[in-house]
Amino acid sequence: MANELGAKHWLGFRPQTTEAVEQSTVNRFLATTKFGMNKNPQHLERKSHINVGRRLANRQGIFMPSGKAEFEMMASQPQPWYWALGQATTDQPDATNAPSVFLHTITDADSPVRLTGEGYKVFQSAKQGDAYIDKIKVSGQAGEQGLCEMEWLALSHTEPATLTSTPAFAGDILTMVNCAITLGGSSNLDISSVEISWDGMLEQLASIKSATGPRRVRRKEVPKADGKLKFIDFPTAELTKYINATSFALVVLFTGEVISGAYSQYLKITLPNCQYTGGLDGDIEAEVITGEADFEAFYSSADGYQIKVEAQNASSSIII
């Protein structure tokens, strides 16, 4: 009996320059542990019973393409953050003495980047156009690799699709072994796990003008950033911040291999204006007291952003 092995799958994306004109190939392939890329047909339920008193078969409706993926974080591949947040600038920290080192600064724009996505699902292939990353989350636990999850919405979906892209994967994995967390300017707290999420608050809209699928993906509300921290011990000072609604900055730094001289690969996520929104209220039992805290990241007027992702690597550009 023949079986399809899901471990042979692959997923890739590429910025799409023109609306409704998909890229012929994609060029950024994620080291996915799993993914889904679906057309999501919306079947229309019959409302009448035409004198038989029984349920009648559905009719075909529109489709609402979407996708989701989990993948390993790579030092040379900060593109998913650029795709989700929408804008990036590139500088060289020392163009003279370290010409191979580039620093990419990614911040939130009015909309995410339009993408073409391709997915080899092993049993068949799929392609989506005008795709937009709606949600992205980084999570990590002490001693493990950093993982990302993301979700997206698209306007078109072809399946089965003929794909001509050649997958190529980065290998510079970022791990929690080389991760540093700074909370309110202090790095002394013992934190065992961290999550940071960005929600672009996007929605798909259908139009009678485009009756078979969605007409537009747009932002329906202001974006939201939040997360969760898990402490080894109970952080009494953090409980005080929660009670007093005190703001603090959170910086998570993943460090990779050396590029040149004193310059190493890294991915740094900065949330300049956070407040605790829950947690730190567990029941007291006959065991070690630890703490978990939920937080939300707000826009900082002083810094001019809600979230900033900085990636230092040897890539001269991340916007193509």
Quick check: is 170 in a domain?
Answer: yes
Predicted model pTM: 0.95
Q: Can you tell me the mean pLDDT for 98-107?
A: 98
pLDDT at position 318 is 97
Return the exposure string of 283-305: e unless at least 16 CB atoms fall within 10 Å of the residue's CB, then b.
eeeeeeeebebebbbbebeeeeb
Paired residues of 244 in beta bridges: none
What's CA 169's distance to the chain center, in Å?
18
Quick check: is 1 in a domain?
Answer: no
pLDDT at position 45 is 94
By percentage, how much of the chain surpasses pLDDT 70?
99
What does pLDDT average to over the chain?
A: 95
Q: Is the peptide bond before 93 cis (omega within 30 degrees of 0)?
A: no
Confidence of residue 285 (pLDDT cuts 50, 70, 90): confident
More confident: 210 or 298: 298
Quick check: is 234 in a domain?
Answer: yes
Quick check: is 320 in a domain?
Answer: no
Q: Quick check: 134 and 171 in contact, CB under 8 A?
A: no
Radius of gyration of the chain (CA): 22
Q: Look up residue 114 and give its amino acid.
A: R
Quick check: is 50 in a domain?
Answer: no
Q: Is the pLDDT of residue 2 over 80?
A: no
Residues 225-269 have pLDDT tens digits of 999 999 999 999 999 999 999 999 999 999 999 999 999 999 999
pLDDT at position 3 is 82
What's CA 271's distance to the chain center, in Å?
15
**For residue 97, which phi and psi values (nearest 5 degrees)?**
-95, -20
Overall number of domains in the chain? 1
pLDDT at position 281 is 83
Report how far apart, in Å, the C-alpha atoms of 163 and of each of 34, 44, 70, 167, 303 are.
19, 31, 22, 11, 43
Residues 124-155 have pLDDT tens digits of 999 999 999 999 999 999 999 999 999 999 99
Residues 23-56 have pLDDT tens digits of 999 999 999 999 999 999 999 999 999 999 999 9
Residue 225: domain span: 6-45+59-313
Q: Can you tell me the mean pLDDT for 110-117?
A: 97
pLDDT at position 295 is 98
Quick check: is 54 in a domain?
Answer: no
pLDDT at position 1 is 57
Residues 57-90 have pLDDT tens digits of 999 999 999 999 999 999 999 999 999 999 999 9
Q: Is the pLDDT of residue 312 over 80?
A: yes
What is d(CA 97, CA 29) in angstroms, rounded to the nearest whole number?
A: 31
pLDDT at position 303 is 96
CB atoms within 10 A of CB 154: 28
